Amino acid sequence: MTAKKKGHGTHKSKYGRGAQKTIKKEMHDFKHGKAKSGTGGKKVTSRKQAVAIGIAKARKKGQKTPAKKTAGK
């Protein structure tokens, strides 16, 4: 009989399919210079900013995303 390895197998993804799609769309817009930020509609200049906007949009839609980090006391 072979020994069963621990820790290998399926894992839960941090982001749901819908959230991944939303973030992917935001990155596409960023790469084509069409990503806008906030109500003022300023152009997004950094990749990290584009990802953050994508995650925020996914959260607003109620898609599966990790909880926002909060400051610990």
Residue 10 is predicted with a pLDDT of 85
Residue 25 is predicted with a pLDDT of 97
Pairwise CA distance, residues 35 & 27, whole Å? 8
Residue 7 is predicted with a pLDDT of 66
Model confidence pLDDT, tens digit, residues 36-72: 998 899 999 999 999 999 999 999 999 999 998 888 7
Token pair for residue 60? 């607003």
pLDDT above 80 for 9: no
Are 19 and 65 a contacting pair, CB within 8 Å?
A: yes
Are 15 and 65 a contacting pair, CB within 8 Å?
A: yes
Pairwise CA distance, residues 4 & 59, whole Å? 38
pLDDT above 70 for 5: no
